């Protein structure tokens, strides 16, 4: 029998049904978190965006907490990923209703993580050490989202802080997940301090506030010290790079009659960009050559001759194929072409984009096959390997791969001194996706303390320093080039490079044990 006088048990009983105010609070949190990402990029919204959700979850049973969490997820991911409808409709040629199907499917799937978080919060509120358990639960769910079903870690909460240079240095230890932990911890402290009901004890409020303040103070101290120390690091070598953004219309790019025009545009921009300048590396975007470069012909020869003429290596993307016992397979490849046309290195994309480069569950989603360009589905590469040029090792990340820190980590542990992201964000149109994609790329530079350069077909191309500062960037849907001198430093692996997602795994373990402990107590 449950005692009515016991505040610990009384707080677990649900209110008499969910009211409009509860749903409104969950939706408000979802919309507020979306606004923290670019555009509009109101990053400070992230520090209070979860407070309305926490208020609506107060006193709820886990089942109702899950419902409110799903509502939060639908509002957040529905407004964050709206651009998927444009991509599917524009490039698959589907009607508006069919175009919504993949978007709704993904949004519903992602909202389940919000639902689980809501249930965990409802179970943990007013429990001891909730100030640790709730942020750990959020990180655990983000980590699972990045791993399950090929992974989709798009716009994890910590990415919203990509402009706060001092704060994000902690990503060298815990990755973007460490920043997410801080943001959720701050939200929980603000909720307990300003909006929690009288059922929350002063001890619990004080614990959440002190814990959040302590974590923030340590993080900012580390960031300040790291930036100050880094300014004194000796430079091992430098690399003069030219990034070329050709702004090729995606609807024309694959037309056979437009291939020569594409190469002429790249040639013109490249020659103009290197004129009178020392250049060690030229970078073109993903699938810059809309033909099989591996096949000998006039177009391939023009690219080879350009590198030979300029006496400069060119890194560029191109579709490729190989023959296996099961037939011909297609690959999304990055080539590094040296001035010697006989010396060619390449890297094949490891993590493919669902619906863009292959169709998952093709028998069910047969009507989406038109999204895949090429004669068949692309296949993932077999090995992560840096490409070498003039004493520098380059870790190439093709498009979507830049949101997966594990792939960048493999390049770094194999000796890469600089990360190069080649991408074709023309798929996204004039939406928020290119801005979000760039924001996530910043963290790869910080996590491994190396510069990152980014060449995009239609933008946003950019140069990012090891501290996460966006030194230069292009416009969106503009035809331009970017020049930069990259300082390369002696190899020094960060804790995140050495230990990977140890913090995230620990959060998963803590949240799992916390869930079981709270469940047993209830």
More confident residue, 236 or 63: 63
The catalytic residue among 226, 286, 357, 401 is: 286
Q: What percent of the chain has pLDDT over 90?
A: 68
How much is the pLDDT for 23? 95
Neighbouring residues of 506: CB distance < 8 A, sequence distance ≥ 6 = none
How much is the pLDDT for 64? 95
Confidence of residue 8 (pLDDT cuts 50, 70, 90): very low
Q: In what side-by-side order are the strands of the sheet with 327-337?
A: 344-348, 327-337, 314-324, 281-283, 237-245, 480-488
Cα–Cα distance, 417 to 466 (Å, whole number): 11
DSSP 449-507: T--EEEEESSS--EEE-TTS-EEEE--SS--EEEEEEEEE------HHHHH-SHHHHHH
- The pLDDT of 228-246, averaged and rounded, is 90
Confidence of residue 175 (pLDDT cuts 50, 70, 90): very high
More confident residue, 328 or 169: 169
How much is the pLDDT for 372? 45
Kindly report the number of other CB atoms within 10 A of residue 472's CB atom: 13
pLDDT tens for each residue of 376-434 = 478 889 999 999 998 789 999 999 899 999 999 999 999 999 999 999 988 888 899 99
Asked if 349 is an active-site residue, the reply is yes
pLDDT tens for each residue of 89-113 = 777 667 777 778 888 999 999 999 9
Confidence of residue 7 (pLDDT cuts 50, 70, 90): very low
Kindly report the number of other CB atoms within 10 A of residue 6's CB atom: 10
How much is the mean pLDDT over the chain?
89
How much is the pLDDT for 6? 44
Asked if 399 is an active-site residue, the reply is yes
The catalytic residue among 349, 357, 410, 447 is: 349
What would you report as the CA-atom Rg of the chain, rounded to the nearest whole angstrom? 25
Out of 17-21, 89-93, 445-449, pick the least confident: 89-93
Out of 10-24, 195-209, 473-487, pick the least confident: 10-24
Q: Is residue 521 over pLDDT 50? A: yes
Q: What percent of the chain has pLDDT over 70?
A: 90
- Longest alpha-carbon distance in the chain: 86
Q: Is residue 15 over pLDDT 70? A: no
pLDDT tens for each residue of 135-168 = 999 999 999 999 998 899 999 999 999 999 999 9
How much is the pLDDT for 206? 86
The residue ranges of every structural domain in the chain are 11-230+501-521, 237-489
How much is the pLDDT for 231? 78
Cα–Cα distance, 489 to 484 (Å, whole number): 16
Q: What is the CATH number of domain 237-489?
A: 3.60.110.10
How much is the pLDDT for 3? 42
More confident residue, 513 or 186: 186
Length of the chain: 522
- The pLDDT of 114-137, averaged and rounded, is 87
């Amino acid at each position: 029998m449950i005692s009515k006088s016991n505040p610990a048990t009384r707080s677990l009983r649900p209110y008499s049904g969910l009211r409009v105010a509860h749903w409104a609070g969950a939706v408000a949190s979802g919309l507020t978190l979306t606004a923290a990402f670019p555009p509009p990029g109101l990053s400070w919204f992230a520090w209070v965006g979860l407070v309305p959700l926490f208020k609506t979850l107060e006193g709820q049973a886990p089942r109702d907490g899950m419902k409110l969490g799903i509502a939060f997820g639908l509002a957040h991911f529905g407004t964050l990923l709206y651009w998927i409808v444009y991509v599917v409709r524009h490039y698959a040629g589907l009607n508006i209703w069919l175009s919504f199907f993949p978007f709704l499917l993904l949004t519903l799937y992602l909202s389940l993580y919000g639902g689980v978080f809501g249930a965990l919060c409802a179970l943990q509120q007013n429990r001891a050490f909730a100030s640790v358990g709730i942020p750990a639960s959020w990180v655990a769910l983000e980590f699972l989202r990045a791993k399950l079903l090929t992974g989709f870690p798009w716009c994890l909460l910590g990415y919203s802080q990509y402009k706060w240079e001092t704060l994000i240095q902690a990503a060298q230890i815990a990755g973007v997940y460490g920043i997410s932990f801080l943001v959720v911890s701050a939200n929980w402290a603000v909720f307990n301090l300003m909006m929690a009901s009288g059922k929350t004890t002063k001890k619990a409020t004080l614990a959440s506030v002190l814990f959040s303040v302590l974590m923030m103070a340590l993080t900012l101290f580390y960031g300040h010290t790291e930036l100050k120390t880094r300014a004194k690091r000796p430079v091992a070598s430098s690399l003069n790079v030219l990034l070329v953004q050709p702004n090729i219309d995606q609807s024309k790019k694959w037309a056979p009659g437009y291939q020569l025009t594409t190469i002429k545009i790249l040639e013109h921009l490249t020659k103009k960009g290197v004129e009178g300048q020392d250049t060690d590396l030229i970078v073109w975007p993903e699938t810059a050559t809309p033909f099989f470069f591996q096949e000998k012909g006039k177009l391939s020869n023009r690219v080879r001759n350009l590198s030979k003429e300029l006496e400069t290596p060119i890194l560029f993307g191109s579709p490729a194929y190989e023959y296996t016992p099961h037939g011909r397979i297609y690959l999304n490849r990055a080539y590094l072409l040296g001035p010697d046309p006989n010396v060619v290195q390449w890297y094949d994309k490891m993590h493919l984009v669902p619906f863009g480069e292959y169709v998952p569950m093709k028998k069910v989603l047969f009507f989406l096959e038109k999204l895949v360009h090429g004669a068949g589905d692309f296949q993932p590469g077999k090995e992560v390997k840096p490409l070498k040029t003039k004493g520098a090792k380059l870790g190439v990340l093709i498009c979507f791969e830049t949101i997966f820190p594990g792939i960048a980590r493999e390049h770094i542990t194999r000796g890469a001194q600089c990360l190069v992201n080649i991408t074709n964000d023309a798929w996204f149109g004039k939406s928020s996706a290119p801005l979000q994609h760039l924001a996530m790329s910043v963290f790869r530079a910080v996590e491994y303390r190396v510069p990152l350069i980014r060449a995009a077909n239609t933008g946003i191309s950019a140069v990012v320093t090891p501290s996460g500062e966006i030194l230069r960037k292009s416009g969106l849907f503009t035809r331009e080039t970017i020049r930069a001198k990259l300082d390369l430093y002696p190899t020094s692996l960060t804790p995140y490079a050495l230990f990977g997602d140890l913090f995230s795994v620990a959060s998963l373990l803590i949240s799992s044990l916390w869930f079981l402990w709270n469940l047993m107590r209830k």
